[in-house]
Amino acid sequence: MSELQTQISGLRALVKKIKSYEEAVGLIYWDMRTGLPKKGVEGRSEVVGVLSGEMFRLSVSDEMGGYLDYLDREDRLAQLSAIDRKIVRECRKEYDRSKKIPPEKFEAYVVLTSQSESVWEEAKDKADYAMFQPYLEKIVETNLEFIELWGYEGHKYNTLLDMYELGMTVDKLDALFGALREKLVPLVAAIQASPNKLDTSFLDQNFAKETQRSFNHHILREMGYDFEAGRLDETVHPFATGLNPGDVRITTKFVENDLLTALFGTIHEGGHALYEQNISSELLGTNLCTGTSMGIHESQSRFWENMVGRSRSFWRRYMGELQQTFSGQLDNVTAEDFYRAINEAKPSLIRIEADELTYNLHIMIRYEIEKALFSGAVKAADLPGFWNAKYKEYLGVEPSNDEEGVLQDVHWSGGSFGYFPSYSLGNMYAAQIRHTLMKEMPDFDDKIEKGELAPIKEWLTEKVYQHGKLLDPAEIIRNVTGEPLNPDYLVAYLEEKYKDIYKL
């Protein structure tokens, strides 16, 4: 074996070891969110801290540095496969960033966020922001310290954005969101003024939780979710955990008097899971065996949730099964009635329950808040009032308590600042990908109406899923659609859909 092969094999072995720690930590996080006894939180958080600390030390070890010093040269990179080149580059990026953080500070931060997520759950349940505020203050403070160590260009928030969407900046997002806001706000206003109101009264009834669970399992199977490589559980806030392609777990939130929360939460997380379950086996055990960015990841969850799950064709296929499942509750509701009802557009308080049109305004609010936090324009102590004022400004509604306001999302408790814009980026990516898919698959809607979802999943696997992190988000969207990210496709999609629904 040549020295080059010895070095790349050594790096791959080290990366696989780090991935093993990562998988163990991911499994513990899943347990903490789904069933850990309350008294076990503190001890388990320390376990997560120790394992994460060890994983961190390996990523910045002299061994890692030695491999990168040898391999990260243009002449040697040119001799490696595309996969190995990308492994080296991802390791270099992580090494250079992490090397600047003292290991004990990183471990303390992991313990803090682990504890914070459990405190957030209790605070949310009690609608008591004051319980959560001290944790959030420490998380923001630590992130600001990290940003100073990592370095930044322009806005401090840019460093956090780049961690979820490579190359994303405040300037780029301001332009993208500005273009969206310019077109969507008048559309929302036109719908509000329209005399064509939708009948949603048949949704106002109790739907047994276990019956919901059964139907959700059925829809996941129809999408192509592999239950031999995953499971569906219940949590306060839905999420997906991709431990490896053979173990991708999702959760949803069941509400007895709301059929839609769990249903579309499940489809959304199922979209994430299809991505993770269908990454190429060639990438197993590497740092490329995951989605390329949160924007591309969210494009898949939003695609399946909205562009498939909330489509007219989908309910022409599945309305009969829904009626059979909830016998006697929806017998007089047509597929068209149901389609229109589930796409009602109106200002609301809760992001995960928002309609497809106003959803982006929820994301813009969180983006504005995070920008303000990291520029110093607002403090954690001010967030409830700042949050409520933004909702009044953007959506014309105001939370009555912190549970339906500033505490509604789990993200900040885990330190996921810079993540929220991924949802709207995902909507943009999804609309652009859908446009290309429909050109290459002209019978797209017919396939959905026949319940033939497998060809859609296979097309997405070929174009997106199999590549994992081998390709950057900009490469994915250009390879699939032939052009860079363009918000006009989302605007066109939403205008066509909602003008039809509301007869504008």
258 has which bridge partners? 255
Amino acid at 255: V
Q: What is the four-CA torsion angle of 374, 377, 382, 388, rounded to 10 degrees?
A: -100
Residues counted in the chain: 504
Q: Average pLDDT of 346-371?
A: 94
What pLDDT score was predicted for residue 1? 79
Judge whether residue 261 has pLDDT over 90: yes
Amino acid at 327: S
Q: Is 471 helix (H, G, I), strand (E, B) or coil?
A: coil
| Distance of alpha carbon 142 from alpha carbon 429, whole angstroms | 32
DSSP 223: H
pLDDT category at 352 given cuts 50, 70, 90 is confident
Mean pLDDT for the chain overall:
96
Judge whether residue 164 has pLDDT over 90: yes
249 has which bridge partners? 241
Judge whether residue 209 has pLDDT over 90: yes
What tokens appear for 55 in the block?
């994983």
**Residue 25 CB partners (closer than 8 Å, separation 6+):** 48, 51, 52, 55
Q: Give the helix/strand (H/E) hosting 243.
A: strand 240-244
CB 495 within 8 A of CB 488: no
Judge whether residue 332 has pLDDT over 90: yes
What pLDDT score was predicted for residue 353? 86
Residue corresponding to tokens 């652009």 = 432
Q: Please give, one letter per residue, the 3-state secondary structure of 244-272.
A: ECCEEEEEECCECCEHHHHHHHHHHHHHH
| Distance of alpha carbon 353 from alpha carbon 237, whole angstroms | 12
| Distance of alpha carbon 254 from alpha carbon 236, whole angstroms | 9
User: Which residues does the annotation mark as catalytic?
Assistant: 269
CA nearest neighbour of 224 among 452, 447, 465: 452
Judge whether residue 485 has pLDDT over 90: yes
CA nearest neighbour of 273 among 323, 223, 213, 236: 223
Instruction: Tell me the CA distances in angstroms from 223 to 228, 371, 433, one per residue in order.
Output: 14, 37, 18
What pLDDT score was predicted for residue 249? 98
297 is in an annotated binding site: no
Could you tell me where the DSSP H helices lie in 167-311? Answer: 170-193, 209-223, 259-277, 294-302
Q: Name which CATH class applies to 170-501.
A: mainly alpha
CA nearest neighbour of 422 among 317, 297, 310: 297
90 is in an annotated binding site: no
Of 81-85, 128-132, 185-189, 467-471, give the lowest mean pLDDT range: 185-189
Judge whether residue 236 has pLDDT over 90: no
272 is in an annotated binding site: yes
Where are the domains positioned within the chain? 3-151, 170-501
Instruction: Tell me the CA distances in angstroms from 373 to 168, 177, 384, 386, one per residue in order.
Output: 18, 19, 13, 11
pLDDT category at 237 given cuts 50, 70, 90 is confident
Judge whether residue 162 has pLDDT over 90: yes
What tokens appear for 359 in the block?
């959803």
Q: Is 88 helix (H, G, I), strand (E, B) or coil?
A: helix
pLDDT in tens, 34-72: 989 989 999 999 999 999 999 999 999 999 999 999 999
Answer positive or negative: Cα dihedral of 459, 462, 468, 474: negative
What pLDDT score was predicted for residue 74? 96
Neighbours of 44 (CB within 10 A): 18
- Say whether domain 3-151 belongs to CATH 1.20.58: yes
